[in-house]
């Protein structure tokens, strides 16, 4: 997926500075222990490193299915061979496949532009000249037999022609054309496959905000709502999808925004996915790639990326987001030429040489700990955020410092007192050596965030048996309840 230039543009335009401090070692042993997958946590294009995906516990993978390659010359073509190895690996790794559909072939649109609108969208669904309908029929018939039922309809349509300096966009049509595209896909897919799930394209968010224009969804949802068929059929899509970058708090801001838009039309209970989120490191010692866009930007370490992954996933779950995915799993397009490498952006939790950044271990830790969650509560007060998750007889506390000054917390000890405390990258903290235990309460310090605190202080994750307890801020010998 070609989004590198937009990422660079967005970061430069809106000043999305990535900041955080951490004292976590980036060196970890390469464990051979296989873990069960977490069906709610995915990683974009993890099929490039299937064994690493299994070990990380990745439960789903987004794979791009380009129409122009499946049917390059005519509607009679069907060339699915290039995807089969990826699908076989996903099946072996127990990963669900979510397909991203885009790029109509020239014969189906009459245009060389990859994001051109397929022709015939207004024709009946069984008309051979409604090329999109016939493609969706063939696609869902074929892949439903392989257990693939989830389809994302194009990507970031809110980036429009001439929005970006290099005129990069992925869908040329207007809002009305995109609504028709989704409606046709919904009708045909559900007719062919009873298990079909149609996902809206992941919305970019920043492009509309930066241009101070109404959000794309504010124009799109009324199109569905105004259509009698769609109003009676769940707005003609099953899952609302967004992409979120830029800092910890944007998880809450963006999810709340789109939920609010849906609520205005009485559809606030729509399923919600975040299928791209991450923070891009600008510092990774000994590795050549693009660093800061401007000299005034703060540096972002690989440990910062790990902290964000834990914060973003736990916040998303507290907001009842059904599934999340990190963009991206592996930097497979690394240019080894030094001059070219200076423009390379390191989004992956796995480096091009196969070594793992701390973010990999954050993803692995979240996949392992945040499973079978039956309750989530968010509290934020006194400069501290606490996300409390329950899973059977265990309670998991994810705690971080929202401020740039030191904070100390106290957590009541429950169960058999065999507490385990982790850093964001999965490093276990020795509770007895690094905390103060006073009776049935133990205390420890939370690392601060820095500068604008776009990413908050490195989290601490506590796992213990027993019912959830209130967490306290500890200061000068006094305890103050959080929440």
Place of tokens 């899509």: 237
Q: Map the chain to HEC letters.
A: CCCHHHHHHHHHHHCCCCCCCCCCCCCCCCCCCCCCCEEEEEECCHHHCHHHHHHHCEEEEEEEEEHHHHCCCCCCCCCCHHHHHHHHHHHHCCCEEEEEEECCCHHHHCCCCCCCCCCCCCCCCCCCCCHHHHHHHHHHHHHHCCCCCEEEECCCCCCCCCCCCCCCCCCCCCHHHHHHHHHHHHHHHHHHCCCCEEECCCECCHHHHHCCCCCHHHHHHHHHHCCHHHHHCHHHCCEEEEEEECCCHHHHHHHHHHHHHHHCCCCCCCEEEEEEEECCCCECCCCCCCCCCCCCCCCCEHHHHHHHHHHHHHHHHHCCCCEEEECCCECCCCCCCHHHHCCCCCCCCECCCCCECHHHHHHHHHHHHCCCCCEEEEEEECCEEEEEEEECCEEEEEEEECCCCCEEEEEECCCCCCCEEECCCCCEECHHHHCEEECCEEEEEECCCCCCCCCCCCCEEEEEECCCCCCEEEECCEEEECC
| Mean pLDDT, range 271-289, rounded to an integer | 87
Closest by CA to 445, choosing from 427, 464, 460, is: 460
Say how far apart CA 17 and CA 279 lie, in whole Å.
9
* Model confidence at 476: pLDDT above 90: no
pLDDT at 18: 30
Q: What is the pLDDT of residues 15-26, one digit of tens each?
A: 332 322 333 333
Count of alpha carbons within 13 angstroms of residue 357, beta-carbon side: 31
Say how far apart CA 252 and CA 182 lie, in whole Å.
26
Say how far apart CA 52 and CA 367 lie, in whole Å.
13
* Model confidence at 227: pLDDT above 70: yes
Handedness of CA 153, 154, 157, 160 (dihedral sign): negative
Protein fold of 377-481: Immunoglobulin-like (2.60.40)
Domain with CATH 2.60.40.1180 in the chain: 377-481
pLDDT at 294: 63
Under 8 Å between Cβ of 326 and 382: no
| Mean pLDDT, range 434-442, rounded to an integer | 63
172-181 b/e with 16+ CB inside 10 Å = b? Answer: bbebebbbbb
pLDDT at 30: 38
pTM of structure: 0.90
Under 8 Å between Cβ of 383 and 317: no
Under 8 Å between Cβ of 310 and 362: yes
Closest by CA to 449, choosing from 7, 22, 4, is: 22
Q: What percent of the chain is predicted at pLDDT more than 70?
A: 85
Helical axes 175-192 vs 131-144, angle rounded to 10°: 40
Give whole-number Cα distances, 189 to 68, 154, 202, in Å: 19, 15, 19
129-163 b/e with 16+ CB inside 10 Å = b? Answer: ebbbbbbbbbbbeebbeeebbbbbbbbbbbbbeeb
Terminal CA-to-CA distance of the chain, rounded, Å? 42
Domain with CATH 3.20.20.80 in the chain: 4-372
Q: What is the pLDDT of residues 384-411, one digit of tens each?
A: 999 999 999 999 999 999 999 999 999 9
Q: What is the pLDDT of residues 36-55, one digit of tens each?
A: 899 999 999 999 999 999 99
The domain 4-372 belongs to what CATH superfamily?
Glycosidases (3.20.20.80)
* Model confidence at 456: pLDDT above 80: yes
Place of tokens 């952006």: 345
Q: Residue 330 corresponds to which tokens in the numbers above?
A: 């592996």
Say how far apart CA 138 and CA 228 lie, in whole Å.
26
pLDDT at 120: 97
Q: What is the pLDDT of residues 359-389, one digit of tens each?
A: 999 999 999 999 999 999 999 998 999 999 9
237: β partners: none
Q: Residue 6 corresponds to which tokens in the numbers above?
A: 């937009």
Say how far apart CA 140 and CA 128 lie, in whole Å.
17
pLDDT at 96: 97
Say how far apart CA 306 and CA 356 lie, in whole Å.
11
Count of alpha carbons within 13 angstroms of residue 282, beta-carbon side: 17
Closest by CA to 372, choosing from 354, 395, 351, is: 395
Output 54 or 416, whichever has higher pLDDT.
54
Q: What is the pLDDT of residues 100-151, one digit of tens each?
A: 999 999 999 999 998 999 999 999 999 999 999 999 999 999 999 999 999 9
Give whole-number Cα distances, 208 to 172, 322, 467, in Å: 16, 25, 44
Under 8 Å between Cβ of 344 and 284: no
């Amino acid at each position: 997926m070609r989004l590198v230039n937009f990422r660079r543009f967005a970061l430069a335009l809106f000043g999305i500075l990535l900041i955080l401090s951490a004292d976590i070692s980036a060196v970890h042993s390469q464990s051979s222990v296989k873990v069960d997958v977490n069906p709610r946590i995915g990683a974009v294009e993890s099929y490039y490193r299937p064994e690493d995906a299994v070990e990380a516990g990745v439960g789903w993978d987004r794979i791009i299915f380009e129409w122009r390659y499946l049917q390059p010359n005519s509607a009679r073509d069907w060339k699915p061979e290039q995807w089969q190895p990826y699908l076989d690996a996903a099946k072996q790794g127990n990963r669900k496949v979510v397909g991203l559909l885009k790029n109509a072939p020239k014969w189906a649109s009459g245009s060389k532009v990859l994001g051109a609108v397929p022709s015939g969208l207004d024709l009946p669904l069984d008309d051979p000249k409604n090329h999109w309908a016939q493609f969706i029929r063939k696609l869902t018939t074929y892949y439903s037999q392989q257990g693939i039922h989830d389809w994302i309809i194009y990507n970031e349509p809110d980036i429009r022609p001439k929005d970006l300096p290099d005129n990069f966009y992925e869908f040329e049509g207007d809002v009305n054309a995109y609504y028709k595209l989704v409606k046709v896909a919904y009708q045909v897919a559900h007719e062919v496959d009873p298990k079909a799930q149609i996902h809206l394209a992941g919305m970019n968010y920043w492009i509309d905000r930066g241009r101070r224009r109404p959000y794309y969804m504010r124009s799109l949802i009324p199109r569905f709502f105004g259509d009698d068929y769609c109003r009676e059929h769940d707005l003609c899509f099953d899952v609302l999808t967004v992409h979120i970058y830029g800092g910890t708090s944007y998880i809450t801001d963006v999810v709340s925004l789109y939920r609010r838009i849906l609520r205005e039309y009485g559809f606030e209970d729509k399923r919600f996915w975040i299928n791209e989120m991450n923070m891009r490191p600008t510092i990774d010692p000994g590795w050549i790639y693009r660093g800061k866009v401007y000299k005034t930007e703060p540096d972002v370490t690989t440990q910062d990326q790990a902290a964000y992954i834990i914060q973003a996933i736990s916040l998303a779950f507290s907001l009842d987001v059904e599934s999340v995915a990190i963009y991206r799993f592996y930097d497979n397009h690394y240019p080894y030429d030094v001059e070219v490498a200076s423009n390379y952006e390191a989004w992956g939790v796995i480096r091009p040489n196969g070594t793992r950044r701390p973010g990999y271990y954050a993803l692995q830790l979240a996949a392992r700990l945040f499973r079978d969650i039956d309750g989530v509560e968010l509290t934020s007060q006194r400069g501290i955020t606490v996300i409390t998750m329950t899973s059977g007889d265990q309670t998991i506390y994810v705690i971080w410092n929202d401020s740039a000054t030191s904070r100390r917390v106290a957590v009541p000890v429950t169960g058999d007192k065999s507490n385990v405390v982790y850093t964001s990258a999965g490093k276990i903290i020795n509770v007895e050596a690094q905390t103060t235990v006073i009776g049935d309460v133990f205390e420890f310090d939370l690392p601060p965030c820095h500068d604008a605190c776009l990413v908050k202080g490195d989290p601490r994750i506590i796992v213990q048996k027993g019912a959830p307890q209130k967490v306290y801020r500890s200061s000068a010998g006094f305890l103050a309840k959080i929440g």
